[in-house]
Structure 1
Amino acid sequence: MQKSESPDYKRIYEDILRLQHPTKKEQCESILSKSRFSVKDVITINDIIFPKADKKTQFDNQRHRSYDQSAILEILDYQKNNKLSNSELARYFKLSRNTVAKWKKHFLV
């Protein structure tokens, strides 16, 4: 079975900045200088490039997010390091509290 590779976020966001949002490139330099993007980096750069949308757009975009095991563990580590509750973590990453509880039950048992 072939392991699926994650998208090359660096190239994707560099193209978006070059073609559509060249004025926001300076704000994203610190993230773009990394060789590998974490989940938090992707969310941060996405928020910089595309400002907050209306509720319906946010809801529709949330439906299409997916997280692999390493991303989930990184999010749960973020929770532990910053001493956040499930609700606070869910709000920060725009997740469901039930999703966070399910991940904790599944990955931290």
Structure 2
Amino acid sequence: MKFFQPDYKLIYTDIINKKYPHKIENCKALLSRKHLSVKNILKLNQIIFDTSISSEQLNQRFKAYKKSDIIKILGYQKENKLNNYQLANHFNLSRNTVAKWKKIFLVKNESRFQNLKK
């Protein structure tokens, strides 16, 4: 069974054209991408609706990340030599979430590596 994601480009383009035409220039770079990640979608939402910090904190618990987004975030940590606390602050995550992701994805990668050794 294939997972279908909503067409966020179309949704946000319609919202911008109908309600916020003065924000087209600010969103053009993000909307021109071939695929929108969760981070891009959240950034678009922030630009269009001018979300405040309190509403972002309220919505923080409803975020969901795809496997590819998690791997990109963990790759960002490795590239920039960040600890879990710094990464969590940068992406507005919990340190426990980062630790859990590392535990899950490092275990999977180690098992793949061991299979290659045999």
Q: Which TM-score applies when normalising by structure 1?
A: 0.84
Give CA-to-partner distance per residue, 1:51-97, whole Å, 9 cap, x none: 24142x22321121111211111111122222222112111211101
| Contact kept? 1:10, 1:35, Cα under 8 Å | no
Structure 2: runs of 5 or more not aligned: 108-118
| Contact kept? 1:76, 1:104, Cα under 8 Å | yes
Which secondary structure does the structure 1 equivalent of 2:82 belong to?
Answer: coil
Amino acid at match of 1:14: T
Aligned to 1:68: 66
Amino acid at match of 1:102: K
Task: Give the superposed CA RMSD.
Answer: 1.6
Which has the larger share of helix?
2
**Within-5 A mapping of 1:28-107:** 28-55=27-54, 57-107=55-105
| Contact kept? 1:31, 1:45, Cα under 8 Å | yes
The reply on whether 1:15 has 2:19 as its aligned counterpart is: no
Larger Rg: 2
Q: Which TM-score applies when normalising by structure 2?
A: 0.79
- CA separation in 2, counterparts of 1:43 and 1:74? 16
Structure 1: runs of 5 or more not aligned: none
Q: Percent identity?
A: 50
CA drift at 1:14: 0.8
